[in-house]
Amino acid sequence: MNRKDTHSTFDTILLEEAEKIIKKADEEGAIIRLMGAIAFRCHCPKYSNFHEFMDRKLTDIDLASYTSESSRVDRLLRNIGYVTQSYVQVAMATLGRSMYWKQDNKQVKVDIFWDELKMNHTINFRLELDRPTIPLSEMLQEKLQIVKLNWKDIKDTVMLLMEHDIAKQCKDQETIDLTPIIKKASNDWGYYYTFTTNIKKIQEKLSEIEVLSNAEKSVVQEKLSKILEAIEREPKSIGWKMRAKIGPKKRWYNEVE
């Protein structure tokens, strides 16, 4: 297959806007990091075209920051043409988020997550460890904490694993550090259950991704197996073992509105 760049016009607009926001944040010393699909493209330059080959479209700009930065982030976004409404901010605040949109193009939306990703499971941010995206470990967790994992999340995860190696206690920004994942999975059975279930789901779905060669599928399969093995090998807490006895017959995750 000819793997040429086939970014759609809207994809290009979102990528340019995301770059503009990060550049402005750097100039002003604001702590803002990319997350979501755009982060995967930015942190996977070698395999970013897989999004196009797998028909993975961009829909908005997801950002991570700290609540201590909220005033600075608000001012920054407004200065480059983004707006919001007070009722939207109040509604989103209960979810630990804020939403803005481009004044001259309301299709361009910015969704900001403050301090943590609070979805089916909660992932704390460590934004100082990398830029312009959240750390690779958080990027992987962002996807594999989703209870109802869909194809776009599988595509993002596969691209991430194609591009980056995995390791424990690693400080290399280009390697996925498994340490925080393993630690959380050994103490929180619900997180463990979702995370490992999703790994197995991706392993099963890999054969359906036609744009991957058999060699590429093997690379991803091996990394998924190593992650699963590392999680299973780690000793589990007493709380984990008690919750494991109940299993999935009781809801183990947060509902997401």
pLDDT (tens place) for every residue of the chain, 257 residues total: 233 444 578 999 999 999 999 999 999 999 999 999 999 999 999 988 888 877 788 999 999 999 999 999 999 999 999 999 876 777 777 778 999 999 999 899 999 999 999 999 999 999 999 999 999 999 999 999 999 999 999 999 999 999 999 999 888 889 999 999 999 999 999 999 999 999 999 999 999 998 899 999 999 999 999 999 999 999 999 999 999 999 999 999 999 86
Q: Can you tell me the distance from the alpha carbon of 229 to that of 88, in angstroms, rounded to the nearest whole number? A: 43
Report which DSSP code applies to 48. T
4 falls within a domain:
no
Q: How many domains does the chain have?
A: 1
Q: 203 by DSSP, 3-state: which?
A: helix
168 falls within a domain:
yes
223 falls within a domain:
yes
Q: 105 by DSSP, 3-state: which?
A: strand
Q: What is the reported pLDDT for 7?
A: 52
Q: Which domain holds residue 58?
A: 9-249
2 falls within a domain:
no
Q: How many CB atoms lie within 10 A of CB 132?
A: 18
145 falls within a domain:
yes
Q: What is the reported pLDDT for 5?
A: 45
Q: What is the reported pLDDT for 170?
A: 84
Q: What is the reported pLDDT for 3?
A: 39
129 falls within a domain:
yes
The C-alpha angle 136, 140, 145, rounded to 5 degrees, equals: 145
98 falls within a domain:
yes
pTM of the model: 0.92
61 falls within a domain:
yes
Provide CB contacts within 8 A for 226, sequence distance 6+: 166
The one-letter amino acid code at 183 reads K
